[in-house]
Structure 1
Amino acid sequence: MISFKDYIPKYLLHSQNISVAVLNVSGEYTFVNDAFKKRFDFWNGEFVGTHLADTLHPDDREHCMKMINACIENPDQIFQIKIKNVYKSEGKYFWIKWEASVIEDDDKNPLGIMCVGYDVSSEHFAKEQLKSSEMMLKAMMDSTNDGNVLVDTNYKVLNFNKVAQESITQFFGKEVNYGDDFRHYVLQDDYAEFQQYFQKALQGEMTKTERKIQFGDFVSWIEVTYYPVYDADNSLFGVAFNYVDIDARKKAEIQIMNQNEKLTQIAWQQSHKVRGALSTIMGLIHLIKEEKDIETKMKYIKLLEDASVSLDKVIHLIMDVIHDR
């Protein structure tokens, strides 16, 4: 008598790593190998004669039954599904990817449904861990006041934080999306400099620059840093931009520079014009004291008056500079 086992490779029937189960068209087990029993050790009863749904997690029953029905309706196809099972000893879940197909004899008569399972727990947990790490990283990026954007070597956006997203929406009136060409989010006046620093980053060089951003009536200062970004194999795969709002600091620096310039003007006024006027006045006073001729003294007094007026004008100029600080 022909058995379904005659159509299953022996290495699968006796495998210690690959789970194999055979079901009838009603969904009841007719065979399970040792690897299957090991992975389903939480089930205390006999598998043969037990319905598939009784051995599954409640969240997986509907999906598995749909797969079995799909196999019956499409005997020439293979269907896949990933389900979770619980470790009996630890109470934790592990994940198995199943492939199901109909076993047929030489006359195309169905002998059962073979399900072959592969443990993909490490792959699943790695993806979950990566997802968790990405969420934590994004949360950290969103909690900072800095803007951060990561693009690949072809300018395609790979990642961005909340500050960067809000800035782009403010300046360009649209939201940035993964895969966008970042060059569309560079102001025209900054494009040449952006290309210069981007190319330096592609050569492995980190650069930092201060930029005055002017968009309509909006004016602000930012500090932008371009970083080359490498993968685990130390291969460069993109460029990261970090920009910090330095508007308050920059405007304070500009104010100090303007004040210093005015102080320099005051110092020059004092060292040249004031001293010149004072020297003239002191000289005329000496002449007046020494001069006996009244008419000549009056001429000196007139010159003294002119020098005083000149000094007064210089003092007013200095006061104007001081009050304009």
Structure 2
Amino acid sequence: MENMLDSITDGFYALNKNWEVTFMNRAAEQALCCTREEVMGKNLWDFFPRSREGRFYQEYERAMNERVSVHFEECYAPLGVWGSMNVYPTKDGIVVYFVDITEQKKIQEKIYNDGQNLRAIINNTRDLIWSVDRQSQIITGNQAFWDRVKKLTDKNEDEVTNADFVEERLKVFFESYERAFTDEAFSLVREREIEGKKVYEELNFNPIRDLHDVVIGVNCLVRDITESQEHLHKIEDQNKRLREIAWIQSHRVRVPVASILGLVQLCDLNDSPNAEIISKLKISAEQLDKVIMEITGLTDDLI
């Protein structure tokens, strides 16, 4: 029996009615960082004084006194070891069979923390983020998305179905799902009117693939780009006005300046009583012509 219990990879030990250890296998020695010689005949709670913390004492005592089998998971804090504990009553006391699940707990904790971090990231935005499966059923969404759903349907996360999205203006989403199911990632801009004001939204759709690279769903994101679109329209309007100014500079303003220069050339400065004035007029006209040409050169790309 001892050889068999020593050959298993999970921990095993036995206690008598005085809580003294009567047997411990090698796996239990390794998990609890002790030897059977050190612990045999010793009171478990004295040898591992902090083992009274958590659920160990409570569950062991229940198995001992009520003669029932119990199962629980607990961590022995001094060693940082998690065990999946199975306790069985025997004629002389109880036996404990446990599996070291420390690595599993670490993985579970990492998955949980990663999930919490991801939720914090996707909820820390006003963008709507959600995903759907191949049947266009919603898998998950961030808080901003569910707030929008509540506003549209007056239903909570666990109540809403595809039947609640039948409005014509939502048709674009179901059409986009089908497009993304063909393994295409794309984005588009939607313009709509809310309470008399134009609103622009950028819609992004990306396929979700499984381990075999098969598309199993779609990740979606809607971002309000009204402010940036309004800024873009403002820039376009300014560019239009600059083009008009450039055209006026190169056509309408330069023509009279050229005429002035031509007339000045016709004047005989030697015979004119205003020779000095005409000379200065010529210089000023040439300077003005040069400025106009510089402005026209700077705005050539806008015309």
TM-score range, shorter chain: 0.5 to 0.7
**TM value normalised by structure 1:** 0.60
CA contact (8 A) 1:204 1:228 kept: yes
Match of 1:21 among 13, 34, 38: 13
Determine the structure 2 residue equivalent to 1:307.
none
Match of 2:4 among 11, 15, 24: 11
- Is 1:137 the counterpart of 2:124 in the alignment? no
Distance 2:51 2:126 in 1: 42
CA contact (8 A) 1:151 1:239 kept: yes
SS in 1 for 2:217: strand
One-letter amino acid of the counterpart of residue 138, structure 1: R
- Is 1:201 the counterpart of 2:180 in the alignment? yes
1:1-325 equivalent positions in 2, closer than 5 A = 10-12=3-5, 14-15=6-7, 17-41=9-33, 46-54=38-46, 58=50, 61-72=53-64, 75=67, 78-85=69-76, 93-103=80-90, 110-176=91-157, 181=160, 183=162, 186=165, 188-214=167-193, 220-251=199-230
SS in 1 for 2:14: strand
Distance 2:152 2:169 in 1: 13
SS in 1 for 2:7: coil
The offset of 1:61, in angstroms, is 3.6
Distance 2:240 2:99 in 1: 76
Runs of 5+ consecutive residues of structure 2 not aligned to the other structure = 245-303
One-letter amino acid of the counterpart of residue 124, structure 1: K
CA contact (8 A) 1:21 1:32 kept: yes
Distance 1:25 1:186 in 2: 66
CA contact (8 A) 2:23 2:36 kept: no
CA RMSD of aligned residues (A): 3.9
- Quickly say closer, same or farther: Cα 1:23–1:154, change in 2 above 3 A: farther
One-letter amino acid of the counterpart of residue 81, structure 1: F
The offset of 1:126, in angstroms, is 0.8
CA contact (8 A) 2:24 2:36 kept: no
Runs of 5+ consecutive residues of structure 1 not aligned to the other structure = 1-7, 104-109, 267-325
**TM value normalised by structure 2:** 0.64
One-letter amino acid of the counterpart of residue 148, structure 2: S
Residues 3-24 of structure 1 deviation map (CA, whole Å, 9 limit, x = unaligned):
xxxxx68522x13621101122
Distance 2:167 2:56 in 1: 56
CA contact (8 A) 1:23 1:31 kept: yes
